[in-house]
């Protein structure tokens, strides 16, 4: 079964998706849409998003800026198309609810969001280890995800809250929050500090620190940063019987390093207490297969009805609610956001 596919938003992400879908073989990309025509592209590139429907696609890939995502996704679902959309799923939980409504009205269609970190090899390996029960109960998780903001930071649509919904937390930190919920379910209690340090000309955060707890008492802390001058991804899980960490994450730029999973089971003294610094097993992953796995999961869901595991709209809603809870939990930041929205309304 070959799925005719149109990509709306043919920038860096759209082209990564194109390559992964071609590689999979079950998709045939028939058209793309972007703000500028691309006469060098191997497929027709139109500038009107609705024009892609002239190519009679079965599938829409949505790789547009956050504020456009809900419209593109809802339009596609209403027209009976399966949809693969990038994260973040819009700018806020309201956007996700709107998309979920369109999804509910078209139950035969597949909607998947690109939370690809769940499908990285090191993360899947960590999940296998925790699911097996060998590591024991999960106590807490720690996540650091950060980069140097980059050129054109202040001009980038990602840092215009009307277009993106927020700063580094909603853009990059959201992946870490999604991983927290993948391993421990929903987090309901949140404390946070949100900062704007370096890029003061834009109204979004360049650092977010949050501490959260789920109903089972599992605690997680995240630091999401655009002033992490040394690109860093570090995800740690501490369990009763040992720990797991994932250092580095394979990315298109390669700047977060190789993915290294470290796992250790404690060694106990004769009294049953863990001896410090247990032997660690380190496993390196050097090939990013997440794009391919996402394409394959999306295809299986459409062709064979296999349920989506990573990037469901329910997961998208939960993680957006968590992002909002983190923004809201810092009273100063919350007040600042309110003042901004009042000013914007005037």
Partner 1 sequence: MQTPVFLDHLPDISTVTGRKPERYRLTRNKALSELLLDDTAHWHERSNCPACGGSIAKSRNFSRAYLPFQRCGGCNSIYAARVPAQQELDRLRLEQTAVKDPEAEQDREFEFISLLNWISLTEARSGCRLERVLDYRFCSQAPGFEEATGRLSHNRDWQFLPLESAADGGIGKLTRSLRDLAPKAVLVQAEMDRVADPAQLLRTLRENVAEGTIVFIGTSCSDGLEYEILGVDSPSFIPLDRLNIFSVKGFELLAQSLGYTVLEASTPGRRDAVLLEQYFNSAENAKIPFWSSFFQDADKDRLRDLQILLQRSLKSGVMRFVLKT
Query: Are the CB atoms for 37 and 46 separated by under 8 Å?
Result: yes
CB of 132 to partner 1, least distance (A): 3
CB of 309 to partner 1, least distance (A): 16
CB of 276 to partner 1, least distance (A): 11
Distance of alpha carbon 98 from the chain centroid:
19
- DSSP letter at 274 equals B
Give the C-alpha separation, 298 to 280, whole Å: 35
CB closer to partner 1, 72 vs 184: 184
CB closer to partner 1, 195 vs 262: 262
276-294 burial, b at 16+ Cβ within 10 Å, e below that, comes to eebeeeeeebeebbbbbbb
CB of 312 to partner 1, least distance (A): 23
CB of 137 to partner 1, least distance (A): 15
CB closer to partner 1, 280 vs 303: 280
In the complex, the residues that contact partner 1 under the rule CB under 8 A are 125, 128-129, 132-135, 262-265, 267-268, 277, 279-284
123 φ/ψ angles, rounded to the nearest 5 degrees: -70, -40
CB closer to partner 1, 76 vs 264: 264
Query: Are the CB atoms for 20 and 295 separated by under 8 Å?
Result: yes
Cβ-proximal residues to 256 (8 Å cutoff; 6+ apart), any chain: 231, 232, 233, 248, 249, 250
CB of 130 to partner 1, least distance (A): 9
CB closer to partner 1, 268 vs 335: 268
Per-residue CA distances from 160 to 155, 166, 199, 204, 293 (Å):
8, 7, 12, 7, 31
Query: Are the CB atoms for 62 and 81 separated by under 8 Å?
Result: no
CB closer to partner 1, 12 vs 128: 128
Q: Which SS3 state, helix, strand or coil, does residue 55 take?
A: helix
């Amino acid at each position: 079964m070959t799925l005719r596919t149109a990509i709306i938003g043919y920038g860096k992400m759209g082209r990564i998706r194109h390559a992964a879908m071609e590689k999979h073989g079950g998709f045939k990309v028939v058209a793309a849409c972007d703000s500028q025509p691309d006469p060098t592209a191997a497929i027709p590139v139109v500038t009107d998003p609705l024009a892609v429907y002239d190519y009679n696609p079965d599938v829409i890939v949505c790789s547009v800026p956050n504020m456009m995502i809900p419209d593109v996704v809802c339009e596609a679902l209403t027209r009976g198309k399966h949809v693969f959309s990038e994260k973040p799923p819009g700018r806020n939980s309201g956007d996700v609810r709107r998309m979920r409504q369109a999804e509910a009205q078209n139950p035969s269609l597949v909607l998947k969001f690109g939370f690809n970190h769940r499908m990285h090899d090191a993360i899947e390996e960590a999940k296998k280890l925790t699911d097996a029960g060998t590591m024991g109960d999960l106590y807490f998780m720690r996540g650091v995800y950060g980069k140097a903001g980059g050129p054109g930071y202040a001009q980038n649509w990602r840092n215009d809250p009307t277009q993106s919904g927020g700063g580094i937390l909603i853009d990059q930190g959201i992946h870490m929050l999604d991983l927290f919920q993948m391993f421990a379910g929903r987090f309901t209690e949140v404390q946070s500090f949100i900062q704007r340090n370096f890029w003061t000309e834009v109204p979004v955060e360049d650092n977010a620190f949050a501490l959260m707890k789920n109903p089972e008492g599992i605690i997680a802390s995240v630091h999401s940063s655009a002033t992490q001058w040394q690109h860093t991804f570090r995800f740690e899980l501490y369990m009763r019987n040992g720990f797991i960490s994932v250092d580095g994450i394979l990315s298109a730029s390669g700047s977060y390093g190789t993915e290294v999973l470290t796992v250790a089971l404690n060694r106990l003294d004769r009294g049953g207490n863990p001896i410090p610094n247990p032997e660690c097993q380190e496993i390196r992953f050097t090939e990013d297969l997440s794009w391919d796995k996402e394409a394959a999961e999306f295809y299986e869901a459409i062709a064979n009805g296999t349920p989506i595991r990573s990037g469901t709209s329910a997961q998208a809603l939960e993680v957006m609610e968590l992002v909002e809870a983190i923004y809201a939990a810092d009273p100063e930041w919350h007040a600042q956001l309110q003042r901004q929205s009042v000013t914007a309304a005037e």
